[in-house]
Amino acid sequence: MTDLVNEPKAAMPPAHKETVDATGLACPLPILRAKKALATLVAGEVLRVITTDRGAVRDFQAFCKQTGNALLAQVDEVDHVTHYLERRLK
Residue 20 Rama label (left phi>0; alpha psi -120 to 50; beta): beta
- CA nearest neighbour of 87 among 48, 40, 38: 38
Is 64 known to be catalytic?
Answer: no
Beta-sheet strands, E only, within 1-90: 18-22, 46-51, 70-76, 81-86
Catalytic residue among 5, 11, 27, 62: 27
Q: Count CB-CB contacts under 10 A for residue 58.
A: 10
User: Mind telling me the catalytic residues?
Assistant: 27
